[in-house]
Structure 1
Amino acid sequence: MFKTLNNYRSEFVLLTLVLFILFGIGTCIFFSLPLFLGLIPAYCILFVYLLALKNGFIQLLFVSLEGVLMVKEVVGILIGVGIMLPSFALSGTLNEILNIFISTLNPRYLALFSFIFASILSLIVGSITGALCILSAPIMALSNSVHYPSYLVAGALVSGAMLGDRTSVFSSALRLTAICVGVDVKTHFMAILPTTIISVILILIFYSLVLPLFFELSINSVNLNINYLSKISYFKLLPILILLVLFMKKVPLFFSFLLSSIFALIISSVSFNINLMQYIFYGISIWPFNHLNGIFSMLPLVALVCISSAFNSLLQKSRLLDSFIKRIINPKSYNQSVFRVIVLNLISSMLFCNQALPIMLAAQQLRNEWKKSFSLSLLSRVIADSAHVFPGIVPWNLLAQICAILLGVKPIYYIPFALLLWILPITNLLFSFFAQKD
């Protein structure tokens, strides 16, 4: 059984972990090192701390291994994406999607259309990963071909994809939030609707009016008619259709990627030889797409997933956050309670390095104390507007890294322009000034 010392000591260890994570990750970003190296010092410190509390070495290893096994599905997704991207490029599927976008979109409003398309698709599939897997490569290629700033388009895509991931009734993350808080899906959906509507309106105004007015965008449309406005082959769009159907049927994501990739390779003109294997394992570069990562390109991210999950497992077992959490709720001030929960969710997103654990932590640890003073639906809204979206603005978080891999843009470049992820917590905080106790 894991033990912690007095509150002062546990909070000191927690602060030390946060500082080491920030320093380690910051060093990796500065020197362009794999991010998983930045988490190793924090993991070692926590491991040694728990050993000092007379927890068994083997026991700690097993707890770490349990954490790694919990993310085997995520590892499968990363490998699946590594197979899918080169396969869709070789089959011409990405090119055909690009043809459709080019023939229908106004390049000057590419960020606006990117947000709208990503929102619609993610509302259908209920997954930020699923929406970005389908849209990111062709839309980012379009931004390259017309010289539209890639960081603006990437931010718009992440914002739109997150909208569906957070709001769609098909989203597992939405259902996870509702279940952990203890409300039904309809109650949760109605609770998040006001902040959703306001945030979407503000984003649409920014992308359609403010962005063209204050950003001098040099759009090059010379290449469009020359390279891409050919007759669209709808047969080559079948891999995307298969992927969409599998998503909606809730087939495990790895198998969705694998099956659609196999079909894409079958309809491609590439023979099954050593070159094909090279593309699958090492990725492929084809203009105007950025380098499309293969399996080996995903390995540093796989290492980040495994180390962060092992760290998360130890952190949960150690219950280092318990003493901090108990002081979050202020029964006399809803505003103050909301602010503290948002700060807690930001810290947990920095520590846990994934999306699910901050949601579960805030919901399960706070709901009993919260419902003594406030409505649980208000807690579900705070969590949806903070714990759900913060992983996307923490550069070393798994969600941000997956988005970066799919977009071909480093998190620090697109994060400032992923407007939904910033507007939602601010809107929720403003709402707290007007919300009434239940």
Structure 2
Amino acid sequence: MKKILFLFMFFFLFSYVAVNKFTLGIIVFIVYMGFALLALKKGNTLNSVIDISFEYSKKSKVVLMIFIFVGALTASWLSSGTIPGIVYFGIKFINPGLFIFFSFLITSIIAFFLGSSFGTASTIGIALMAIARSGNINVNIVGAAIISGIYFGDRWSPLSSSANLVASLAGIDIYSNLKNMVKSMMIPYLLTSLFYIFLSRNYVLSTNENSISGLILNTYNLDIRFIFIPVASIVIFSLLRINVRISMGISIILASVIAVIIQKEELIDVIKYLTLGFYKFNGTSLEKIIKGGGVLSMLNASILIVISCSLVGIFEQLNILHYIKNKITNVKTRADLFRNTVIVSFITGMVGANQTIAVIMTENIVEKVYDEKKIERIHLAKDIENSAIVLPAIIPWNIACYLPCTMLGIGSIKFIPFAAYIYLIPICTYIYYRFILKEKEI
């Protein structure tokens, strides 16, 4: 029965990505099939390949639940006037000559308080992108600034599931972990800010926004007593360390109520928005700015995570992780150790197609080397934060990259050259170990 169920699911998902010409999905499927055939060639039975693929695919359930909440949250904030309100007031108060920098600054602050890269991208990120589109600015650069900002918070927030995961795997206290990361964070953050200030001077937000502001004002009831309640609820619940799914769920309910009572939406329409996405303004000037979200918008990302989790199961069966582990043990300096950790992180980020999988696989591969070299666990955690947490954000088929790009409405490749913070974290860390650290030998 399990074999039939898995084969049916596999055939259905592959048919979907083929019919919809979902390139990344097709690539991941081909990679999976290639390694599955290799497993069969190595003497594994078809039943064992299906069993381990099925078991590992079930590990995606928690992430899939987050995807559902993120899709519904975005649509609810669009229909309630929350995101349009942020766009309206943002256009009025953000300095157009520093818009790219402010996009990075604002998202990094919000991501720190929310502790969620996806939650930040699906809320304030979408609002900033709407402003960018209304101001005819390069959306890939703005998207890069936003993605740099959301992974600042994902890496350095006591509420971040990623930061808590790393601390748990390394066996250390989360707050000790955050404190230990401050030094490696300051220089990259400053350099990234300077880079975005420079870009802001060359890519200025158009101030010819009166028509957009007027349309939003005429279309929505922008009563600030109500439209920002969904934002306030997310921030408050995050500070109280309430489970992110609960805080998102409550914010969705509040936004939906506001959409019905304040924005005069029909309940059946709000339910449709939550499911299919908010596409109310087709054929108008707001069409390209106020749209998106919905559970359905998360389908492609969900397929990627299911297949990538199955792929990790195949890797376990082929003992590939053990092979990689043997290749990185012979290091003599702290810089070499970190360099190998970065390489492993990039490989696991590519094959796992998911940040969580990359973190777990990287920690599993490198921890023995760190222990043998008598590197404290707190430094192991820092090195993973400076590699496996951020690098998946620039791997196009990794969920850490693909999903924020989907929510922001940008391609998952063109933004990469401008995502400065993602590069600078591992680069600055390596330079520190290579040239500044006193005890270079290990």
TM-score range, shorter chain: 0.7 to 0.9
Q: Which residue of 2 aligns with 1:267?
A: 258
Matching residue's letter, 1:155: A
SS at match of 1:302: helix
Distance 1:138 1:218, change over 3 A: closer
Q: Sequence identity, in percent?
A: 23
Distance 2:56 2:422 in 1: 27
Secondary structure of the residue that 2:267 maps to in structure 1? coil
Cα RMSD for the two superposed structures:
2.5
**Which letter does structure 2 place at the counterpart of 1:237?**
F
CA deviation profile, 1:372-410 (whole Å, cap 9, x unmatched): 325234332221111111110000001111111221111
- C-alpha contact 1:191 1:380 (8 A) present in aligned 2: no
User: What corresponds to 2:247 in structure 1?
Assistant: 256
| 1:313–1:249 Cα change, 3 Å | farther
Q: How far off is 1:337 after superposition?
A: 2.3
Contact 1:331-1:373 at 8 Å conserved across structures: no
Aligned pair in 2 of structure 1 residues 91, 182: CA closer, same or farther (>3 Å)?
A: closer
Could you tell me which residue of structure 1 aligns to residue 315 of structure 2?
Answer: 315
Q: Does 1:244 align with 2:243?
A: no
1:159–1:418 Cα contact (<8 Å) kept: yes
1:424 Cα offset (Å): 0.7
CA distance in 2, matches of 1:162, 1:212: 20
- Give yes or no for contact 1:102–1:228 (8 Å, CA) kept in 2: no
| Amino acid across the alignment from 2:60 | V
Given that 1:130 and 1:247 are in contact with CA atoms closer than 8 Å, whether structure 2 keeps it comes out as no
Structure 2 distance, partners of 1:216, 1:39, is 36
C-alpha deviation, 1:47, in angstroms: 1.8
Q: Does structure 1 conserve the Cα–Cα contact (< 8 Å) formed by 2:99 and 2:204?
A: no
What SS does structure 2 have at the residue aligned with 1:79? helix
- Give per-residue Cα distances to partners, 1:34-85, cap 9 Å, x unaligned: 4222111221122222233333433332221222221112111222222222
Is 1:397 the counterpart of 2:384? The answer is no
Q: Distance in 2 between matches of 1:96 and 1:343?
A: 43
- Give the Cα separation in 2 of the matches to 1:66 and 1:245: 36
State how far apart, in whole Å, the 2-side matches of 1:188 and 1:329 are.
25
1:221 aligns with 2:215: no
CA distance in 2, matches of 1:166, 1:283: 29
Distance 1:359 1:216, change over 3 A: closer
CA displacement 1:354-389 (0-9 Å, x = unmatched): 111222222233222223325234332221111111
**Preserved CA contact (<8 Å) 1:151 1:413:** yes
Give the aligned partner of residue 76 of structure 2. Answer: 87
Written as runs of structure 1 = structure 2, the 5 A alignment for 1:64-213 is 64-208=53-197, 210-213=198-201
Amino acid at match of 1:414: F
Output the CA distance in 2 between the equivalents of 1:218 and 1:131.
Answer: 22
Task: Name the aligned partner's letter for residue 113 of structure 2.
Answer: I
Q: Aligned equivalents of 1:116 and 1:88: distance in 2? A: 22
Equivalent positions of 1:380-395 (< 5 A) are 380-395=381-396
Distance 1:169 1:250, change over 3 A: closer
Contact 2:386 2:425 in 1 (8 A): yes
What residue is the counterpart of 1:409 in the other structure?
410
Alpha-carbon offset, residue 254 of structure 1? 4.1
1:276 positional shift: 4.2
Which consecutive unaligned segments of at least 5 residues does structure 1 have? 1-27
Change (3 A) 1:276 1:222: closer
Output the CA distance in 1 between the equivalents of 2:223 and 2:299: 35
In structure 2, the partner of 1:430 is 431
Separation in 2 of the partners of 1:280 and 1:190? Answer: 39
Contact 2:117 2:151 in 1 (8 A): yes
Matches for 1:15-26 after TM superposition, within 5 Å? none
Following superposition, the deviation at residue 216 of structure 1 comes to 4.8
Quote the residue 2:37 is aligned against: 48
- What is the Cα deviation at residue 252 of structure 1? 4.4
Question: What is the CA-CA distance between 1:218 and the residue it aligns to?
Answer: 6.1
Task: Report the TM-score when normalising by structure 1.
Answer: 0.85
Q: Does 1:292 align with 2:292?
A: yes
How many angstroms does 1:416 deviate by?
1.8
| Structure 1 residues 100 and 225: alpha-carbon distance in aligned structure 2, compared to 1, 3 A threshold | closer
Against the structure 1 CA distance between its residues 247 and 229, is the aligned structure 2 distance closer, same or farther, given a 3 Å change threshold?
same
In the superposition, the TM-score normalised over structure 2's length comes to 0.84
- Matching residue of 1:326: 326
Contact (CA 8 Å) 2:159, 2:241: kept in 1 or not? no
- Count of residues in correspondence between the two structures: 407
The runs of 5 or more residues in structure 2 that have no matched partner are 1-16
CA distance in 1, matches of 2:203, 2:90: 22
State the distance in 1 between where 2:178 and 2:275 align.
41
Which amino acid in structure 2 is aligned with residue 382 of structure 1? D
